[in-house]
Structure formats: C-alpha cells, structure tokens
Amino acid sequence: RSLRICRRGPPSVLCSSMMFLRLALLLVVPMEALSFVASAARVRPSLTVRAVSEGDIASSVDLDQPHKGRGLLKAVPLGVGCASPQCVVTNSDLEGVVETSDEWIRTRTGISQRRVLGDYDESSESVANLATQAAKNALEAAKCDAADLDLVILCTSSPDDLFGDASTVARNLGASNAVAFDLTAACSGFLFGTVTASQFLHNGAFRRALVIGADALSRWVDWDDRNTCILFGDGAGAMVLGATETEGQGGVLGFAMHSDGGGHDQLNLLFKGEPRDLATPQGTRVVGGSYNAIQMNGREVYRFAVSRVPQVLDEALRNADITVEQVDWLLLHQANIRIMEAVADRLGIPKEKIITNLSDYGNTSAASIPLALAEAVASGKVKKGDVIACAGFGAGLSWGAAIFQWGGDVNADGLLDPFARAYGPPPQN
C-alpha cells in the first residue's frame, strides 16, 4: 500500500499543520503554481489531487484517510436471486438490424447476447414482474418471509409506472409490513440502494431489507444506432439484507459514493416534450411527455469509468480498512469487459477474480451487479466469508463502491430477529 497522510506522530497535530500550510499557500501562491504543489503532494498513484480552493481545504487534507461514517455497517447479506426475460437476441441476430457483426461486438464489448422484454402486458413479462421474480428467488435463498421485510428498495431507471414500481412489487410479494420506494441512479442504482438500505439496518430503524435492481433499457434504445443498441439488455436481481448486532458476520465493510452533473451530457435519456395548445380564453400551451432514446458518448464514458472506478474502489477499501490483497472477487457494473479489465489492472487485481456474466446478458443497468452476483453464488464461485469489491457507475454521472463480505446466515449469532408485528396486513377491499 502507498504512504498514508497523518499516520506518523499525533494525527491532529500533523493534519492541522497540513491545513495551515495549504491555507498559507492559497494566500501567497498563484493558483497555477498551487496546482503543481498539489500534484507533487499526490500520495496514491490512482488518485488525482486537485488544486485546492479555500472552500475545500478541510476536505482535501485527509484524502488518504478513512472517512468517518463510511466504514462498517451492521447489515449482512442473507440471500440473492435474479430473473431475466425469455427472449434472447444474439449478436448474429443484430446483423440484420444494424451494420454490425458478432466479431465486432464481442471484441469491443465482451457481449455475445442479451435478453429483452417483448410486448408490454401487465400479466406477462414486465419490469415489475421481473423484479418480483428476482425478489422471490432472493427471499427463498435467504429463508426469509416477505412479511418480515421492513423495507423494499427498487433501483430502476425504467419502471413500468413513472410513479414507481416498488409498492407494486411489495404487494406482489406479500410484503405488507414494508415501506417501499424506487431509487433512481441508473447503473449505480443497486450499489446506492444497498448502501441506503444498510444505513437503515445499521441505525436500528429496520431489521430486514430487500434491495432490487431491475431495468429494461431495451425499451429506450434507438435500434437504428449500432453504437448503443448492441449494448443493453433487460433483467433483474435482488438481495435480502438483515441487521446484525455484532461484527464479524459479514456485510458492508466500507463504501464511497459520488456524482458529477458536469458529465450529464455524456450519457442521458432526456425528456421529449410534445406541445399542445389548449383552447382556453387566454390560449395555453402545455407539453405532453415522452422521452428520447438513450444518448451516450462511448469514448468519454469509458474514460470516466477507467479513471473514477479505481479511485472509488480505493476509497472504499480505505474506509473498510482492508487492502486490495484481501479482496477475493471484483464485481463491477457489467458495462464493458474492457472497462472491467482496465479497472482490475489499475488495482492490481488478477483478471481471474473478476465476476462477470456480461457475455450472456449485456448491460442490464441497475440489474447487472445483483444478476452477476446471484449466478456466482448459485454456482458456488462466491463462498461464505469471501470479500467482494463492488462498484457501480453510469449516468449522472454517478459512481460508487462498497466492500462487503458474503456469507450471511439466518441462524448466525448476532443476527437480529425480525420485528414482532403488532398489527397485521391492511384489510383487503
């Protein structure tokens, strides 16, 4: 590991000295020169230290220190499950849709096929139904009753209902005691949702939580654009988390999350208004709602990912107080095999430790991490006690990482029992 600031001598004295020195530099040295000073003070090869401004002196001093409150969360994974549509579209199938080839797609992305939803019908495949099936599989794996859930978070950018699908999924499961809501953070969604749910478990508000990632971006791609239509598929994955009162039972060991709206133009799915004039006395124009297809600057998104993801994983490892050598598996958002390999290379993680099912499913957005994890657990690849470095990244732009230890057990010592219910489900009409 590289050198760490404020580890020699009393931390408070050295950190205060660093802050005073940077403040003095800010007052007397031109900003152009200060950028050189900041560059020379870089302490980790993977981190880029900006020239500091007066507003961020305090936060920039401890770049290499664990961040208080972003370490261990007493929330242990109990089970994981997944679901995907029946319809498979191979790279060869797409040769008749756009100018492309199986070889061209595989060598540039690592994708061989993807699964897509067909015609929408509430009684057939839909985002809510995929999410429900993945959740049922996770609950079964966790040996958890849906009625014991306190929280259901559905991470999605493509719900069937613009108002959200989480409450529908909770109803489908029989999770009558849970509060349910959607969380939108694109391909970072499941990572952000897992950290959010773990906070509720850690602080004692809830005992059992279900986090689902589900998306159907095949609905929102331009099937005449070979740069985007080849990438995306549909699917769902879910994980059950339980609150624990003791350490050492697995769970979230450390995390970090970020976003930067300055990169919004590189990847988006924008509102498209259709004006309509209303015959009011004064004349009123309103806008009917629809959306454009996904727009992505692939080159810039790649540069963003291979830069930011190693940084945020490094940050999460420090918050977890573990080294990269202690990581058993690297699980990234399944966007592009080149990104995964580049991140692994930057961190010094062997490629054999990368968990991926990108070839079979494509980029399933918020579903990609739990879908890949579910298959890795089911196959026996991921075992109890394994440390997984996980990162999501995507539109926003947003990115985050969590280090967690697999191997929750409903019979483990320290796992808190579900809340006793003083009330039953609401009456049915």
**How long, in residues, is the chain?**
429
Please, where are the H alpha helices in 55-188? 57-61, 91-94, 102-109, 127-142, 166-173
Q: Is residue 264 among the annotated active site residues?
A: no
Catalytic residue chosen out of the listed positions 177, 229, 363, 390 = 363
Handedness of CA 71, 74, 75, 76 (dihedral sign): positive
Report the 10 Å Cβ neighbour count for 202: 17
Report the 10 Å Cβ neighbour count for 271: 10
Catalytic residue chosen out of the listed positions 82, 187, 229, 390 = 187
Backbone angles phi, psi at 227, to 5 degrees: -75, -25
Smallest CA-to-CA distance from 317 within 371, 252, 385 is with: 252
Instruction: Report the alpha-carbon distance of residue 363 to residue 130 in Å, rounded.
Output: 16
Helix (H, G, I), strand (E, B) or coil at 355: strand
Q: Is residue 187 among the annotated active site residues?
A: yes
**Per-residue CA distances from 188 to 32, 193, 244, 397, 398 (Å):** 35, 9, 25, 9, 6
Instruction: Report the alpha-carbon distance of residue 288 to residue 176 in Å, rounded.
Output: 35
Smallest CA-to-CA distance from 341 within 371, 306, 373 is with: 306
Helix (H, G, I), strand (E, B) or coil at 291: strand
**Per-residue CA distances from 339 to 266, 333, 369 (Å):** 16, 10, 15
Structure tokens at 113: 């096929």
Report the 10 Å Cβ neighbour count for 48: 12
Q: Is 400 left (phi over 0), alpha (psi -120 to 50) or beta?
A: beta
Instruction: Report the alpha-carbon distance of residue 289 to residue 286 in Å, rounded.
Output: 10
Instruction: Report the alpha-carbon distance of residue 365 to residue 376 in Å, rounded.
Output: 18
Q: Is residue 292 among the annotated active site residues?
A: no
Catalytic residue chosen out of the listed positions 6, 144, 333, 336 = 333
Can the peptide bond before residue 23 be classed as cis, meaning omega within 30 degrees of 0? no
Give the catalytic positions in this structure: 187, 333, 363
